[in-house]
Amino acid sequence: MKVTVVGAGNMASSFVKQLVKAGHDARIVGRDAQKAADLAKTLGASAVSAAEGADAEIIILATPFAGAVDALRALGNLSGKVVVDITNPLSADYMSLTVGQTTSAAEEIARAVPGARIVKGFNTLFAPVLGAGAVSNGQVPPVFLASDDADAKAKVSSLATSFGFPVVDAGPLKNARYLEPLAGLNIYLGFGAGLGTGIAPAWLPLA
């Protein structure tokens, strides 16, 4: 699949690693063109312009929530495009969420970029877990996906499966209101409680 990753940071690197390993056509759109080019070279992907980045079957939004809408809009017309929102709307100290309960980062992005087919997911995996495809003891955690668009969710599900992750269908996009706090708890456990970034939430039974 032709997949564009928007951003060139930790999550972008892990996505591109997985995309290249699974044989996808991985493209990076970075606000710092040199950084994107360097990352692409290191990982065997391509760095492309924002306009070229819009030409993809799936667009993965790997920027902070604060910059997400601007970064998406920079790609141009995203009507009908499948966009994976991995953001967690974190406070500056990472220990709470800045939106929730009556909305979510995913719903705010969907409202700001109408026409894009938003799928919430991957936000409960730390970058090292995403990159390795497993938590630190080797178990493979699930990817939770929430969307109002069944076809978009199926496409992103097939992407997650190509990386080796099982998928939990977490229902409509509104359920990002649950997935974002779930990631918040994971971040608390990883950083606040000192368990580290080799952990991930899972629902039993996994298969």
Q: Which residues bind ligand NAP (CB under 6 A)?
A: 7-12, 30-32, 35, 62-65, 67, 70-71, 86-88, 90, 123, 125-127
DSSP-assigned letter for residue 172: S
Q: Least separation, in Å, of the C-beta of 23 and ligand NAP? A: 23
106, two tokens: 């995913």
Beta bridge pairs of residue 74:
none
Shorter beta-carbon distance to ligand NAP: residue 47 or 82: 47
Q: CB–CB of 69/109 below 8 Å?
A: yes
Shorter beta-carbon distance to ligand NAP: residue 32 or 151: 32
Q: Least separation, in Å, of the C-beta of 178 and ligand NAP? A: 15
Q: CB–CB of 72/83 below 8 Å?
A: yes
Please report how the helices 33-43 and 10-21 are oriented relative to each other, as an axis angle in degrees rounded to 10: 40
Residue with smallest beta-carbon separation from ligand NAP? 9
Q: Least separation, in Å, of the C-beta of 15 and ligand NAP? A: 9
Q: Least separation, in Å, of the C-beta of 123 and ligand NAP? A: 5
Residues 41, 45: Cα–Cα separation, whole Å: 6
